[in-house]
């Protein structure tokens, strides 16, 4: 009997103990760790930028001038020279003048001390062009012709070559206070006049007189 009572008591105590443990476990909730989830970072898409630089020139698709066009231009230039008596040359330009049977090249402007535009000068100054001339049966010759004739200073407005007299008539552009001789180098243009040399004229006149005298 005592054993039964003791067994019952132990069983009751064990049951109470188990219930208390269960209650204590339920009363202590497990700590939940909240994990902060970061929103996905969206990477901005790079949009291609169209280049607005239009400084590069487009390639020209034009055809180079043909030989016929060049010959026609030379013929027109020679015709104009024969009509006006003036031949225009850019610095560095070369022309063949069929009427005078000579090549002429404007080599460079050797000097330009002309008074600039808009400036009052004591001396008008002078411009001297250096040209190269060559006949069909002659070697090249370098001539210097100026805008004025002054033998004491070494300036000659005209030079003789192969029976012709070559004179400097025009020089452009004019110098200014902002752009002098050095600034204009390479941009000059000259107008020259070609005519039969006065020495040839005198020679022909003398020969004519001699022939007339022989006939008489």
pTM as predicted: 0.57
Whether pLDDT at 1 is above 60: no
pLDDT of residue 197: 82
In terms of C-beta distances under 8 Å and separation of at least 24 residues, what long-range contacts does 87-95 make, across chains too? 87/191, 87/192, 87/193, 87/194, 88/170, 88/189, 88/190, 88/191, 89/131, 89/189, 89/190, 89/192, 90/188, 90/189, 91/185, 91/186, 91/187, 91/188, 91/189, 92/186
Per-position b or e across 106-142, b if 16+ CB within 10 A of its CB: bbebebbebebeeeeeeeebbbbbbbebbbeeeeeee
pLDDT of residue 77: 56
Give percent above pLDDT 90 in the chain: 46
Question: Chain-wide mean pLDDT for the chain?
Answer: 76
pLDDT digits over 196-206, tens only?
A: 887 666 566 67
pLDDT digits over 27-73, tens only?
A: 444 444 444 445 555 555 555 545 444 444 454 455 555 666 655 65
Token pair of 102 as six digits: 């000579």
In whole angstroms, what is the distance from residue 177 CA to residue 90 CA?
23
Q: Which of 10-24, 121-135, 188-202 has the lowest mean pLDDT?
A: 10-24
Neighbours of 181 (CB within 10 A): 17
C-alpha of 116 from chain center: 26
pLDDT, greater one: 145 or 1 = 145
pLDDT digits over 129-171, tens only?
A: 999 999 999 999 999 999 999 999 999 999 999 999 999 999 9
């Amino acid at each position: 009997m005592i054993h039964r009572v003791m067994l019952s008591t132990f069983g009751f105590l064990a049951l109470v103990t188990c219930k208390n443990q269960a209650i204590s476990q339920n009363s202590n909730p497990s700590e939940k760790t909240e994990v902060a989830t970061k929103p996905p970072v969206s990477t901005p898409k790079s949009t291609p930028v169209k280049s607005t630089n239009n400084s590069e020139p487009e390639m020209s698709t034009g055809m180079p001038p043909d030989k016929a066009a060049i010959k026609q231009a030379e013929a027109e230039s020679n015709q104009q020279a024969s009509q006006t008596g003036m031949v225009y040359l850019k610095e560095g330009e070369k022309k063949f003048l069929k009427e005078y049977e000579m090549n002429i090249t404007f080599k460079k402007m050797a000097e330009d001390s002309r008074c600039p535009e808009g400036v009052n000068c004591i001396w008008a100054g002078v411009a001297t062009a250096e040209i190269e001339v060559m006949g069909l049966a002659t070697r090249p010759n370098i001539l210097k012709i100026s805008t004025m004739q002054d033998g004491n200073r070494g300036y000659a407005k005209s030079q003789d070559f192969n029976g012709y007299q070559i004179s400097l008539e025009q020089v452009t552009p004019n110098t200014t206070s902002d752009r002098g001789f050095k600034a204009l180098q390479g941009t000059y243009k000259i107008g020259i006049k070609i005519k039969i040399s006065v020495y040839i004229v005198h020679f022909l006149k003398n020969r004519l007189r001699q022939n007339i005298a022989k006939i008489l």
